[in-house]
Amino acid sequence: MKRYLLRLVVLFWSLHYKLLEKNKKYKNLHKGKTCFIFGNGASLKYYDFSKIPIDYSIATTFGLLDIRMKKLKPKYYIIPDQYNFYSVVRNKRRKGISINIIGRIFKEIIKANPQTTFFISLTNAYSYFATPNNVNYFYTRYRSDIKNNEFIFSNDLCKNFNCTEGSLDVMIGVAKYLGFSKAVLLGCDYLGSPKLEGHFYSDEEPWFGDPVYDDYLKRIKKVSEDIDILAIFPKGIKSTIFNSNSFDEYFDANEKKFVNEEIVNSKDLNLLRKAGINEQLWMRKPDDEK
């Protein structure tokens, strides 16, 4: 039954592929250039954004709630998850339906940043009566590209975009489609050793957690083929799969510690905390890691 329903869902969204044609103009638009990719990691609390050049940048999820990020005016922005813009969302733990607070946040971010080009899942198309001009869609038509027993990633935003396991996968896939030859990663803390936990907007101090599982690192390495990656971390953290550097060395600047109240306004923090209470995100360290 599940397989039959899945086929119906795929068939339904296949009727909307015309919405992907808008992405043609972005193919190799920035060929040979370098971009900055921003995750949501807690390491961003250590960085002085005024030292980062206002250049081609790709951010994700809650990044534009950061006052410093707003000043950088990211060129592109990724909101990766499926069906996460609608008014209600399924609460897996409570086995019910909740008001979708993060969907509201995402729509407010898009509305407040008309200069930024957003890429969101095609599955969110019906959350808008009219798609905003700065919103583009991506969709995974099929995930079974196999060659020599290895999964083959496709970053074609007009046909099949299957780099969708996480925000970083999508950002790297989009960067490759745009033609960037190099990406500098900030706030992508799962790539670090030791691994820094938390988010820039969290109420908790950053902490060191268990190493990320090998399958994650192998996947990111595979997604990143044909693009030069440099990962930036606070002092004492390095990447085991990419070239890496500390923030202060790369930008010739001292680390500067922030707390979330300094970099996110109170209105947005209250919404994030409300979403945390409703288990739609983590604002504090999970109980099993305390």
Model pLDDT for residues 179-230, shown as the tens digit of each residue: 999 999 999 999 999 999 999 999 999 999 999 989 999 999 999 999 999 9
Alpha carbons 282 and 275: distance in angstroms, whole number: 8
Q: Identify the bridge partners of residue 151 per DSSP, sorted by sequence position.
A: 146
Find, among 67, 62, 106, 65, the residue nearest to 84 by Cα: 106
CB 157 within 8 A of CB 23: yes
DSSP classification of residue 212: P
8 A C-beta contact, residue 177 and residue 157: yes
Cβ neighbours around 209 below 10 Å, total: 16
DSSP 171: H
Residue 177's region, left for phi above 0, alpha for psi from -120 to 50, else beta, is alpha
Identify whether the C-beta of residue 44 lies closer than 8 Å to the C-beta of residue 34. no
Q: What are phi and psi of 93, to 5 degrees?
A: -70, -45
Which architecture, in CATH terms, is 31-289?
Alpha-Beta Complex (3.90)
Q: What percent of the chain has pLDDT over 70?
A: 92
What would the pLDDT profile of 63-81 be if each residue is shown by its tens digit?
999 999 999 999 999 999 9
**Helix spans in 73-166 (H):** 101-112
Task: For residues 153-167, give the mean pLDDT.
Answer: 93
Count Cβ atoms below 10 Å from residue 152 Cβ, excluding itself: 11
Q: How confident is residue 29, by pLDDT bands cut at 50, 70 and 90?
A: very high
Q: Is the pLDDT of residue 94 over 70?
A: no
What is the C-alpha to C-alpha distance for residues 177 and 156, in angstroms, rounded to an integer? 7
